[in-house]
Each structure stands twice: as structure tokens, then as C-alpha cells.
A and B are shown apart, each in its own frame.
Chain A
């Protein structure tokens, strides 16, 4: 078993309204960042997991996302394992 760090990015599905991202976008534009075309806000989770292989660590993380960390109706996720 080795220790892996899995960075998990959970984002609201692109087709859905993201009022949080929009509010941040408006605030940035109000600060003068006129070049901001869009902002989307999601979650970033860092999970330390013990697994026999890197692939196994990624598989465990995906199962965690499917079961709890992401809502399959509204969110997409991505898992990046290191080292």
C-alpha cells in the first residue's frame, strides 16, 4: 500500500445556471477586470488515500465522487492522483 493524494475537482454542469460564478464574474468586472468573459465556481477537495496502485487510488476516488462527493444530476468531477 502506498499513500496517494487525490485532488478532486467538482464543477457545476456547464449547462446549468451557476449563480455563484456569475456573482464573482460581476464583482471582478466591477473591479475593472473588463476582460473577464465568464467565471464558474466549483469545489476542490484533497483526499489522502492508501491504495496498492495509482490506478486503484484513482478508482477509489471516482467511487467516492459517484457516491458522495459529486451530485450526478448537477455536477461533473475530475480526479488527479499524485505522486
Chain B
């Protein structure tokens, strides 16, 4: 069982769903307030979606100076797993823990709907239970989701296989190279725009997002499951 810290900022609004998703996957998940600097021996840290500090100035720009981010950066530097979902992804980019930035959607509209994405990298702590090339349906809910990186950075991301998720069929927000998620060079820090916590049970319309959270537990449970993770820690995915 992994200890998973879900960071709560003023304006986070996906923290409860994210905590539930991590617990459903078998993790010992708990909240850490943004003013805290102790991650309480977390194995993994998740920055959830929402509108931290009202997204004033730029999405994630003010949250990145929260006291907790120092501890998150230290955890990341030590190789610890960090996942940023939506606003969490924006915060990780602002903090320089992930390359690039997230700008206003190309057609300005706030988008809240399911999209198709392809898993492009499975060698991260949060995607190891997927098969490479697998297509998923996951919800997006963002106004600032256009991933931007200069040509040089984008080329490095592609060459190193740091693109984790890619939009399939349509690119909803104008992201560079259809990028929906990236990881750090060390692969332990992952940022994704779609919300896996909103698609992790049949009652939510599907469970394509569940393995983001199950992947953490899968590290210990079945190292070589080969992507088709159906039972982790005695918990079964209903198909």
C-alpha cells in the first residue's frame, strides 16, 4: 500500500474525487494543505484539478509559490512520484518541474467533455498499468489546456518519449503535437490535462482512468503484468 498525498490549495475542486480514486486503487491517501511543508512520508504526491488561487495572473502561477511546493519539488528531485492533473499540471509547469506551459484554449471556450487520448508512454509511475498505444476515453474540463513548448523542447520531449498522453482524432485545445500529458526527464513527474478521477468506475461512464491510480500500487503487486491490470492488491476492476 502506497502513501499518497493529495495536495489541497484554496480553489482546488477535484481533491475529494482524487482522494477517492486513490483509495479505491488501494492506496493510503490523505490530504495535505498547501501551507504544510510535511508530506508525511508520501510515496506519491498528487496535485489535483481546480482553480488554485482563482487562477489569477496565470493558471498555477501563484500556487507554485505555496509552502507545500518546496516539499513537492524536493520529493520530485529525490525521484518520488508526482502527478499533476489539470490545474496540477499547470502548477507543475509553472514550478519548472515539467517543461512547457499551458495557455488559453485555441478557440477560447472552456471545454468540459470526454475526449479520446492515446497512452504514449507506459514507463511512468502512473501509466505502467496501461498498454502502450492503448486508447482511452477521459474527461477534460479546462479553459487553459493548450500545451505549448518551443520547437526545441518539443523535439526533446518526442526524442526522449516524454509525451505520456496524446489526443486522438481531434485536438480539442490546440496543444503542440496533440500533447495531453508529459513527464519529466526522470519520468517520475507526470502532468496530464484529462481527469482520470472522473472516469474510474462504471457509474461514472467508464473506468479508463482507474489504472492511473492502480499503476502506483501495481509497482509492488505485479511488476510484469504487461498492461492488462485486472487485479491489484486483491481489488478487481469490473470490466
Contacts and interface: CB of A to CB of B under 8 A. Distances in A.
Contact of A23 (B57, B108, B148): B108
Interface string B94-120: 100000110111111000000000000
B104 A20 contact: yes
14 contacts: A12-B103, A17-B174, A19-B105, A19-B107, A19-B174, A20-B108, A23-B108, A68-B62, A71-B61, A71-B94, A73-B93, A73-B101, A73-B149, A74-B148
Contacts of B107: 19
A16 interface: yes
Interface of B: 57-58, 61-62, 65, 93-94, 100-101, 103-108, 146, 148-150, 174
Contacts of B174: 17, 19
Q: Is the interface of A mostly helix, strand, loop or mixed?
A: mixed
Nearest to A73: B101
A24 B150 CA distance: 25
Question: What 5 pairs between A and B have smallest CB-CB spacing?
Answer: A73-B101, A74-B101, A19-B108, A71-B101, A19-B106
